[in-house]
Structure 1
Amino acid sequence: MSEIPVIAIFDVGKTNKKLFLFDEQYRIIFERTARFTETTDEDGAPCENLESLRLSVFDSLREVFSRKDLAVKAINFSTYGASLVYIDEAGRSLTPLYNYLKEYPAPLSEQFYKKYGGAEKFSVQTASPVLGSLNSGMQLYRIKHEQPAIFSQMKYALHLPQYMSYLLSGVGCSDITSIGCHTNLWDFSKNQYHMWVTKEGVLDKLAPLFSSGEVLPATFPGNNYAVGIGLHDSSAALIPYLVNFHEPFVLLSTGTWCISFNPFNDTPLTHEELAEDCLCYMTFQGKPVKASRLFAGYEHEQQVKRIAAHFNQHTGRYRSIDFDATIVTRLKERNKQDTPAMPPDKKLLQASVFSQRDLHTFSSDTEAYHQLMMDIAIQQYKATRLVLKGVSVKRIFVDGGFSKNAIYMNLLAALFPEIEIFAASMAQATAVGAALAIHSSWNSKVLPNDIIELKYYAVMK
């Protein structure tokens, strides 16, 4: 029996750590999911168990390499962003893998922004809203000022995808999809590292930049396989769409956060867009991607609980409610007279109007749920429009949880009558993207054009 050529992809999320094996047609032929118990850093803050993650890579590969029916041609990685591993000359990690949600010391933040031109100006240059530890460059700045002994021992600060690649290749790399993701490290106006990186001596701690499509030889024993340098997960998820569609589109990736990516809008971020929670990512080709964020998945989850409790229903019921145009028409008429105002302390793009609605005014939970989806869809319309300016986009592809919600999809189609709205589904877009990034290094077949399933939503009259 001949061996099947495959690529192994480690897809590391905050909760689930997955390993996939894809064949040359990008079909999943093996999948494993693991979860690790979090540990804590020296301050008692929760953080990833880096040692468990490291050992799981080696254990998983030993199992895969023992299979006689497979030939592993390459390995690549996609992981969550804003997380750095600090290694010494021997490749040992010097600190815990600090959580990007860890509170950032206000005095240090103020010192930084004051020194480098003020928060507003700096944020425009780096396409990075002020996000504390979520700006991974600020984590490195903090190490320098709070743990100088660690900083002096540090050979490299590697973003998590590149650390995982380092485990197998022994080569320290930086990758533009991680460096360009709201890190405060990259000056988008000059397309190079921001000058603070050099001034603070941080540039010496950043490994050389490699192309996202490059591969390295492996030092870990096994077959003769290539090792990719890893990608930031949001940029990896865009790759299948960039490979398959060349006319301007927006990808609306829905989950806890709903992020609208426009890879065809490279206009510089404005102060106003930053204030509305816009930011930039980088494609694997090193091009800026303007994006807007909405906390809609989280808001949906909270409000569904409120509806279910009020109407004495199970929350699972709302996963499959059909779209009812009659209810929508009725609610639109009612909303002309009665739409609650948002409290001044709540940003419209982060909390929905529905949170202010009185559930006693609805005749049924179905009606209340339609109103919730209308409020979220209107929020999404406003958020997505922020990245549409100046670009003639023909299509919006919606993937993730809301793509399966018929009410949401029909409402979105009505709000964007001039743009084609598609629910897009594909198995494991992030992992597939990481495999596609190094396609030519492992795959003898042509790039596939049938890995994304699309369902068109027409505007309902």
Structure 2
Amino acid sequence: MRCIAVFDIGKTNKKLFLFNQQYDIVWETSTQFAETVDEDGEACEDVDRLTSWIRQTMQDVLTKPEFDVQALNVSTYGASLVCVDGQGQAVGPLYNYLKAYPAELSKQFYDSYGPEEPISVATASPALGSLNSGLALYRIRYRQPDLFDKTRYALHLPQYVSSLFTGQFYSDLTSIGCHTMLWNFGQQQYHDWVKAEQLDQKLAPLFPGNAVIDTVVCGKSMKVGVGLHDSSAALIPYLASFNEPFVLISTGTWCISLNPFNTQPLTAEELQYDCLCYLNYQGQAVKASRLFAGYEHEQQVQRLATHFGVPLDTYKHVPYDPSLIDELPTRPVQPVPDPLTTKQPAVLVQSAFTRRELSDFETYEQAYHQLVHDIVAQQLISTELVLHRSPVKRLFVDGGFSKNPIYMALLASAFPQLDVSAASVAQATALGAALAIHDSWNSLPLPDNLVQLRPVSASIGKTV
């Protein structure tokens, strides 16, 4: 069976999939392993163990006679650099992107190249410390000069994994262009500060995300992609399936609204509302906004379960009832306290539900409708930021909230001008990485069932 192999490396789960020419998953394996620590004793990815697992797993799959692996690509989590020497050996830790960033080093950077707002606008990158991988490399330069000197290339994680098979070192726009503070979106090149610090000399040459390298892997000739950032990869099945403009709300711990059809430059105000842009594999900007709604939902259903004395998963069995929305208490909530740890406007920091008195609600069902109503009120603001002045007619929702009938019905009501659908894609990030290099290995046309849609009617609150 002709197929493509895709490594999908998450923070927790490390996976390898085989897709056939119809993009059905025909084989898969996954693993998890414990983190190690960096020189400061902080938890980080065990790059040596990850490397060994990747090499061994690929070697094992190539011994299976029922599969003819024609191509290989990679999707991984972002904001993470692997420093390698001239032979491609990792020479330092794979630092955690949540590692605290030294305040004095941040001050040094912005004193030299700031102020913060113009550089964030130019690079479409909110100031996020270690989550800005450009600043992570800046930290290595000034705090670990020995490691910096040993480094031939600082590779983003997808390109590091690809290099394990190709022996070649490249950068990719989906990683370089995602809140790294490296890329000047207006000039379509590295920002001036990157060149002033000579960090561009530590960044490998750019390579197209839809191109391949002819490689021999364990004696088998195949086409190998350079790898993609997972957020960009997950959008590819939708771009491959739909020609008309759309917005995708990808829901999980974060609810991320993605608009590949918003060409307006990012503004300082949008940055304040946790908007950013990233580059897709074709070099086009995708405007995105983030909302911590999945996390808040998780916290509040625990609060509801305790108050009403019901099982934690009771919310899963609550159908949408429009009459309950009409009966919600009208008592105003307490004002939001000024957030101390973020510049994000308070309305998006937490929903109104966090300040509601649960004694105002007669039943669990009524309270849960209020919770989802308050989350959707935030979602309306967050998604409108990326919808603004773009020709979008369709709104897709995937992930956990796509299965929530109350959320979907209220969302459809909040966006009456859009066709709202719940969407599902099996292993979207891995599938996207496979589709990116489709033309290099697969002579069949793309199938028309990559994305499953369930249109939603706001009036009845059900998929139709």
- TM-score range for the pair, normalised by the shorter chain length: over 0.9
Name whichever of 219-228 and 396-405 sits farther off: 219-228
Contact kept, 8 Å, 1:65 with 1:222, in 2: the verdict is no
Displacement of 1:148: 1.0
Q: How does 1:199-218 map to 2 (within 5 A)?
A: 199-218=196-215
Q: Which residue of 1 aligns with 2:359?
A: 360
Q: Which residue of 2 aligns with 1:290?
A: 287
Q: Which residue of 1 aligns with 2:420?
A: 421
The one-letter code sitting in structure 2 at the alignment partner of 1:257 is W
**Partners in 2 of 1:61 and 1:33 — Cα distance?**
12
Displacement of 1:284: 1.3
Counterpart secondary structure, 2:234: helix
Q: How does 1:290-369 map to 2 (within 5 A)?
A: 290-331=287-328, 334-335=329-330, 337-345=331-339, 347-369=346-368
Q: CA RMSD in A?
A: 1.1
Counterpart secondary structure, 2:82: strand
Counterpart secondary structure, 2:220: coil
**Partners in 1 of 2:294 and 2:348 — Cα distance?**
12
Contact kept, 8 Å, 1:239 with 1:284, in 2: the verdict is no
Contact kept, 8 Å, 2:184 with 2:191, in 1: the verdict is yes
Q: 1:16 aligns with which of 10, 13, 17?
A: 13
Say if 2:163 is the partner of 1:140.
no
Structure 2 unpaired stretches of 5+: 341-345
The one-letter code sitting in structure 2 at the alignment partner of 1:448 is P
Counterpart secondary structure, 2:386: coil
Q: Which residue of 2 aligns with 1:257?
A: 254
**Partners in 2 of 1:251 and 1:227 — Cα distance?**
28
Say if 2:127 is the partner of 1:150.
no
Displacement of 1:457: 0.8
Displacement of 1:67: 0.8
Q: 1:163 aligns with which of 157, 160, 170?
A: 160
Displacement of 1:219: 4.5
Say if 2:239 is the partner of 1:242.
yes
Contact kept, 8 Å, 1:134 with 1:183, in 2: the verdict is yes
Contact kept, 8 Å, 1:320 with 1:405, in 2: the verdict is no
Displacement of 1:52: 1.5
**Partners in 2 of 1:320 and 1:142 — Cα distance?**
49
Decide whether aligned partners of structure 1 residues 230 and 172 sit closer, same or farther in structure 2, where only a CA change above 3 A counts: same
Contact kept, 8 Å, 1:136 with 1:183, in 2: the verdict is yes
The one-letter code sitting in structure 2 at the alignment partner of 1:435 is A
**Partners in 2 of 1:132 and 1:410 — Cα distance?**
38
Q: Which residue of 2 aligns with 1:434?
A: 433
Counterpart secondary structure, 1:226: strand
**Partners in 2 of 1:341 and 1:327 — Cα distance?**
24
Say if 2:393 is the partner of 1:399.
no
Q: Which residue of 2 aligns with 1:55?
A: 52
Structure 1 unpaired stretches of 5+: none
Percent identity, aligned pairs only, is 55
**Partners in 1 of 2:166 and 2:317 — Cα distance?**
46
Q: How does 1:25-104 map to 2 (within 5 A)?
A: 25-104=22-101
Counterpart secondary structure, 2:302: helix
Q: Which residue of 1 aligns with 2:451?
A: 452
Normalised TM-score (structure 1): 0.97
Q: Which residue of 1 aligns with 2:343?
A: none
**Partners in 2 of 1:222 and 1:299 — Cα distance?**
50
The one-letter code sitting in structure 2 at the alignment partner of 1:345 is P
Displacement of 1:223: 2.0
Displacement of 1:244: 1.1
Counterpart secondary structure, 2:347: coil
Displacement of 1:341: 2.2
**Partners in 1 of 2:139 and 2:242 — Cα distance?**
41
Displacement of 1:110: 1.3
The one-letter code sitting in structure 1 at the alignment partner of 2:368 is Y
Q: How does 1:96-115 map to 2 (within 5 A)?
A: 96-115=93-112
Say if 2:186 is the partner of 1:189.
yes
Q: How many residues align?
A: 455
The one-letter code sitting in structure 2 at the alignment partner of 1:283 is N
**Partners in 2 of 1:46 and 1:108 — Cα distance?**
21
**Partners in 2 of 1:211 and 1:350 — Cα distance?**
37
